[in-house]
Structure 1
Amino acid sequence: RVSLDMMSVQANTGPSWEDKNTTAFWRGRDSRKERLELVKLSRKYPEIIDAAFTNFFFFKHDESLYGPIVKHISFFDFFKYKYQINIDGTVAAYRLPYLLAGNSVVLKQDSIYYEHFYNELQPWKHYIPFKSDLSDLLEKLQWAKEHDEEAKNIAKSGQEFARNNLMGDHVFCYYFKLFQEYASLQVSEPKVRDGMEKVQQPDDDLFPCTCHRKKVQ
């Protein structure tokens, strides 16, 4: 297993598009009912979907139905596969930025959950959407196989989106502006209490930023 960061993912995107395995791929734990359904689909259509659990926690009583668990594989090895399935866990799946940064096409479940960048993501431009109950997932995979060049372009657009919006400096700027806005809503002046220690902040040059933020003294 590896510690993920956007730079290392971009350097390990697997084979070229034409040489990738055309089976849709997913690994993860049992943190949502729809993930159980995905594994069931994989059992029924193993030539289309390769999905399996690496850990059971929420549905341990169903392990005999959806197991056995499989070994973890390097996230970089995900990109040996052309189609990446992104499906929610307890909340929005944190892996989405990393999947987008690769050069496989992402199929993303419709979701009530979101992260700060979701409002800029566009279905059919950055990813292929499928219904939250997975009822059209096979249909969307078939579309991708029949429209290979379009799927390749979606993968490329998703990768460009990740590179232009989800790198470390972009996330740093987002949180800076978030806390600035949060601070503006405070109704009382923060106080330094006994026992508190000042945490020395890194120089701004550590993360060059183009968001034109104002320095706070």
Structure 2
Amino acid sequence: MYASYKNLKIEVKFQGQHVAKSPYILKGPVYHENCDCPLEDSAAWLREMNCPETITQIQRDLAHFPTVDPEKIAAEIPKRFGQRQSLCHYTLKDNKVYIKTHGEHVGFRIFMDAILLSLTRKVKMPDVEFFVNLGDWPLEKKKSSSHIHPIFSWCGSTDSKDIVMPTYDLTDSVLETMGRVSLDMMSVQANTGPPWESKNSTAVWRGRDSRKERLELVKLSRKHPELIDAAFTNFFFFKHDESLYGPLVKHISFFDFFKHKYQINVDGTVAAYRLPYLLVGDSVVLKQDSIYYEHFYNELQPWKHYIPVKSNLSDLLEKLQWAKDHDEEAKKIAKTGQEFARNNLMGDDIFCYYFKLFQEYASLQVSEPQIREGMKRVEPQTEDDLFPCTCHRKKVTRADLLTHVRTKDEL
């Protein structure tokens, strides 16, 4: 939302009639996204958000770290990773965000800055100190658990011990829904194309050449165009093979994917971050087996939420033929996958995941997080004169009143 409201009424209608127990009345105040009005009682916030008591992936990731020593990691992680990797060292203290960057390519910090600021505007965050990996690949690959370091990453793998967060792509789509992003979990559900029976019965895929198996997929499409429509929209990694796997095709709208019954999900450099959007559509996903995973993959079940395909795609044609021969079962898998995404990958789920992750991690700290030398505060967004924020949880000062009066006079 761009503005705050004392109360909010939401109507959901179909052909002019209320549906799904509409209308909904939200007793306010209801604050807009950039309104700095955190709830001090985090337990109450968790209840209001219906956050789960525990999240299995968080428990699994943190099991490698019985305790966390902020002093130790502040000294050791930059020495071990700081020269070769791109990292952000964050401290949350008194609900303010502080950062120090390490490495050359740190532009992706904007995504982490954004979710941390968003959380601190909504709820009192625990004091916590941690490192975020801004690169694609997980970093902590030591086999011994005795000398590993806690690194927060957007992607995990079966051969690493990084602490997994929701991807920057999914997180950004949550924060920018109805904003600057064109693809988010809500817009996909409004653009799922024709009903199942009217969808095209070929599998569809578009993307860039960021993994060898993607080359194999395009090759399969050439041999079996009646089954697969796969093509590259960009060449970068295998430019020398462009004559073999080209020509490039124009981008198509992501929503046009759902004109097809079958969606193929193949890894890129790491996990393909499009999977949440594919699941929440109403096509069935054929997902490649992979060592890489996002924060929710371990909750997915093959043959229930998606159709599994071997990592080398050797059984892709067989699985596609199965889907064609078992249309109702494939349709049911598509529906179950969509329900999973609706129940686990929406905005409230992402906020819950981040808060629970930082809360659980903070409880492992053996000393107080510190604002380290070289850290700078991540500045919150300045007050919007057009949509002011009057927080009922904060004491209104005389200066606040004067500012509010001056703003009204200017308008």
TM range (shorter): 0.7 to 0.9
> Aligned pair in 2 of structure 1 residues 160, 188: CA closer, same or farther (>3 Å)?
same
Larger radius of gyration: 2
Distance, in Å, in 1 between the alignment partners of 2:376 and 2:249 is 46
In structure 1, stretches of 5+ residues that fail to align are: 203-217
Which residue of the partner structure matches residue 63 of structure 1?
A: 242
- Give the corresponding residue for 1:120: 299
Structure 1 equivalent of residue 197 of structure 2: 18
Residue deviations 1:148-201 (CA, integer Å, cap 9, x gap):
000000000000000000001101111111122232333442223687336559
Structure having the higher strand fraction is 2
- Pairwise mapping of residues 68-147 of structure 1 onto structure 2 (< 5 A)? 68-147=247-326
Residue identity in the other structure for 1:92: A
CA distance in 1, matches of 2:202, 2:378: 52
TM-score, normalised relative to structure 1: 0.88
Richer in helix (by share)? 1
2:228 maps to 49
TM-score for the superposition, normalised by structure 2: 0.47
Closer/same/farther in 2, CA of residues 193 and 103 from structure 1, 3 Å limit: same
Match of 2:209 in 1: 30
CA deviation vs aligned residue, 1:60-102 (integer Å, no higher than 9, x gap): 1111110111000110000000000001011111000100000
Q: In structure 2, which of residues 368, 373, 377 is the aligned counterpart of residue 197 of structure 1?
A: 377
Determine the structure 1 residue equivalent to 2:333: 154
What SS does the aligned partner of 1:190 have?
Answer: coil
Quick one: which amino acid aligns to residue 21 of structure 1? Answer: N
C-alpha separation between the residues in 1 aligned to 2:236 and 2:208? 7
Q: Hey, what's the Cα distance between the residues in 1 that align with 2:239 and 2:367? A: 47
Look up the match of 2:48: none
SS of aligned partner of 2:292: coil
Instruction: Provide the C-alpha distance between the structure 1 equivalents of 2:377 and 2:326, rounded to a whole number of angstroms.
Output: 58
SS in 2 for 1:170: helix
| Partner SS state of residue 14, structure 1 | coil
Q: Across the two proteins, how many residue pairs are aligned to each other?
A: 202
Q: Whole-Å Cα distance in 1 between the matches of residues 369 and 357 of structure 2?
A: 17
Name the amino acid aligned to 2:225. Answer: P
Corresponding residue for residue 209 of structure 1: none
Alignment deviations for residues 8-36 of structure 1 (CA, whole Å, 9 cap, x no partner) = 00000000000000000000000000000
Name the amino acid aligned to 1:155: A
Decide which of 171, 174, 187 is 2:350's aligned counterpart. 171
Q: Which runs of 4+ in 1 moved over 6 A?
A: none
Measure, in 2, the Cα distance between the counterparts of 1:196 and 1:189: 18
* Deviation of the 1:137 alpha carbon: 0.3
Which residue is equivalent to 1:211? none
Q: Find the aligned partners of 2:289 and 2:344 in 1 and give their Cα distance.
A: 21
RMSD: 2.0
> What letter is aligned with 1:116?
H
Q: One-letter code of the match for 1:19?
A: S
Q: C-alpha distance in 2, partners of 1:22/1:99? A: 16
1:152 counterpart letter in structure 2: K
**Amino acid paired to 2:221:** S
Q: Percent identity?
A: 86
Q: Which amino acid aligns with 1:78?
A: F
Q: Could you say if the C-alpha distance between residues 78 and 191 of structure 1 is closer, same or farther in structure 2, counting changes exceeding 3 Å?
A: same
